[in-house]
């Protein structure tokens, strides 16, 4: 196997100048609740966790999946923000948190979405579910299909609201994965999760996420509470180019879930750093290509490469490019010709496929004959 060492500072000399000494890394904070997880948005690196795969009731955190499904319909063009939804009696009678919509009234999809996201309205959630799928039960089937696509293997949904049901559950890890998907797939709609209040039917209601009022880095995303689920909170915060997602489940109070989430976010931002090492499509190296119309070919990562590491250890990263075999023309963009690996202390942090930055056609007959001979001695 052909292996080449790469400088992780390729095109990033500025970071080298800004590198600081390694910071001692303490244990993650001990916080209340049944389970929690802290992950980096770009890399998915887990920075702290407790019982992350334990099945728990999500309460209104369910509505992150509800809105994800709605956004998918908007993306597909089967739904519009201006579509008008007729409120059913079931939606109007929904127990728990409410947007205070009225039976028989017609309300836009956009207003209902804000009622779900900001006011956590169970009535708005049911109205949207029925409009999209006919019944809330059919909508729950859509939720489970999208959950499967996202790899949420520890979650199952039976309603659009999060009201308690024995077969309605999530895990903290799955909630973090869902939050990452929401921010990645729908960044424009995600901004609604940062809005602090929404007025409907003459009633002004505030967002229940206390972190929106106390930490400017926090821009979402959803609270949840029932007696059986306790107080839950999935939060996301951005500091510079680094974004973290925290999930706290099953605490005993509103302030407790906010304090616990704040502790996790502070820990992550203080003791870790995330770097974008290589951009998708940016040439990392040029390597020999046999029997080609040109002598070499540029290789690039097929995706942006980020790493999350303990603060101050950037200079200790090790990057290598592995080519499984000699590269022979023709090649085209999209062909996987090798991998780039980035490690720290011998632990592989990321592995990404390498593809050619340009197509290389076969060379002429003489080139192919010469290279055929030379390859015998490689």
Which residue among the candidates 63, 72, 114, 291 is catalytic per the annotation? 63
Angle between helices 109-117 and 122-133 (to 10 degrees): 140
28-81 pLDDT per residue, tens: 999 999 999 999 999 999 999 999 999 999 999 999 999 999 999 999 999 999
**Is-catalytic flag, 63?**
yes
Which residue among the candidates 88, 120, 235, 246 is catalytic per the annotation? 120
Q: Would you kindly state where each structural domain of the chain is located, as residue ranges?
A: 2-17+277-375, 50-230
**pLDDT in the model for residue 99:** 94
pLDDT lower than 50: segments of the chain: 1, 8-19
**pLDDT in the model for residue 9:** 42
* CATH entry 3.40.50.12280 includes domain 50-230: no
pTM here? 0.91
123-148 pLDDT per residue, tens: 999 999 999 999 999 999 999 999 99
Which residue among the candidates 60, 155, 236, 246 is catalytic per the annotation? 60
* Residue % of the chain over a pLDDT of 90: 88
Closest CA to 114 of 218, 206, 243, 13: 206
Cβ proximity of 192 and 165 under 8 Å: no
224's CB contacts (< 8 A; 6+ apart) are 58, 59, 60, 61, 62, 162, 231, 232, 233
**pLDDT in the model for residue 17:** 39
* CATH entry 3.30.70.20 includes domain 2-17+277-375: no
**pLDDT in the model for residue 325:** 85
The CA-based angle 20-23-24, given to 5 degrees, is 160
**pLDDT in the model for residue 5:** 60
Residue 12 phi, psi dihedral angles, 5° rounding: -130, 40
**Is-catalytic flag, 60?**
yes
**pLDDT in the model for residue 14:** 38
**pLDDT in the model for residue 15:** 44
């Amino acid at each position: 196997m052909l292996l080449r060492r790469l400088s992780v500072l390729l095109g990033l000399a500025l970071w080298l100048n800004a590198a600081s000494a390694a910071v001692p890394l303490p244990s993650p904070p001990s916080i209340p609740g049944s389970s929690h997880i802290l992950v980096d948005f770009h890399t998915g690196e887990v920075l702290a966790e407790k019982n992350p795969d334990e099945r728990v009731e999500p309460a209104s955190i369910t509505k992150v999946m509800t809105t994800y499904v709605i956004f998918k319909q908007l993306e597909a063009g089967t739904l519009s923000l201006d579509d008008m939804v007729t409120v059913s009696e079931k939606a109007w009678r929904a127990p728990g948190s409410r947007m205070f919509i009225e039976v028989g009234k017609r309300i836009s999809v956009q207003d209902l979405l804000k009622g779900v996201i900001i006011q956590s309205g169970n009535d708005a959630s049911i109205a949207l579910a029925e409009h999209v799928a006919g019944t809330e039960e059919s909508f729950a089937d859509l939720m489970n299909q999208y959950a499967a696509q996202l790899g949420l293997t520890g979650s199952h949904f039976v309603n659009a609201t999060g009201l308690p049901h024995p077969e309605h559950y999530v895990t903290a890890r799955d909630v973090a994965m869902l939050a990452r998907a929401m921010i990645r797939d729908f960044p424009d709609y995600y901004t609604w999760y940062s809005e602090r209040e929404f007025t409907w039917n003459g009633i002004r209601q505030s967002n229940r996420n206390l972190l929106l009022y106390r930490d400017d880095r926090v821009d979402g995303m959803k609270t949840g509470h029932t007696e059986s689920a306790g107080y839950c909170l999935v939060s996301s915060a951005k500091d510079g180019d680094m974004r973290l997602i925290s999930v706290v489940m099953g605490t005993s109070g509103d302030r407790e879930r906010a304090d616990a989430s704040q502790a996790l976010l502070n820990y992550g931002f203080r003791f870790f750093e995330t770097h974008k090492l290589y951009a998708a499509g940016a040439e990392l190296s040029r390597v020999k290509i046999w029997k080609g119309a040109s002598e070499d070919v540029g290789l690039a990562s097929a995706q942006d490469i980020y790493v999350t590491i303990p603060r101050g250890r950037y200079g200790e990263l090790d990057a290598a490019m592995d080519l499984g075999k000699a590269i022979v023309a023709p090649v085209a963009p999209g062909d996987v010709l090798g991998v780039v690996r980035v490690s720290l202390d011998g632990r592989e942090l990321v592995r990404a496929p390498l593809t050619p930055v340009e197509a290389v056609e076969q060379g002429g007959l003489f080139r192919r004959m010469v290279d055929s001979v030379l390859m015998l001695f490689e």
